[in-house]
Amino acid sequence: MKWAPLALLPRSALTILREMGRHILRHPVVGVLAIARDNQGKYLLIRRADTGTWTMPGGTLEWGETLRDALFREVQEESGAKVLRVGRLVGVYSRPDRDMRFHAVTIAVEVTVDASHLEPVNRLEVREARLFDATEIPTPLAMGTDAMLQDAMAGGEPTFE
């Protein structure tokens, strides 16, 4: 006879465990995206290694990390640039179909960067980092981030979806 530890639990405890698992495994992932510009007003974009498409630097929050720390870390890891100043909140984006990998809640923030040394840390994730004039930005951007960049360029109140 096999020992089944879960079988020893009361049915009500199993129901609670199942509900906890459903919540833990099906929660949206929180991430941050930098609408990054250098002092000359050029936009910093990264080219993803998995799709070859361009987007802004950003990523998911690590356990115990603040959004601010994640923003600085992701910009540096994905582009080699250094965040000099955090600007306005562009928006909070939560549409479930925006990212094909998972349901993400993305906080987009304007930042000013020192882009004098652009060198992605992880080449398996990011092929290259480059500065673009607003009129030269390649489209479409990855993972539905076009709307985030458009909202940043338009200015105004933060988007909340």
- Residues annotated catalytic, as ranges: 128
Of 88, 107, 104, give the one whose Cα is nearest residue 96.
104
Is-contact 70 136, C-beta < 8 A? no
Residue identified by tokens 């290259």 is 128
Round to whole Å and give the CA distance between 122 and 73. Answer: 12
Round to whole Å and give the CA distance between 154 and 151. Answer: 5
| Whole-Å CA distances, 31 to 42, 43, 48, 115, 136 | 23, 20, 16, 22, 26
Is-contact 46 124, C-beta < 8 A? no
Is-contact 118 82, C-beta < 8 A? no
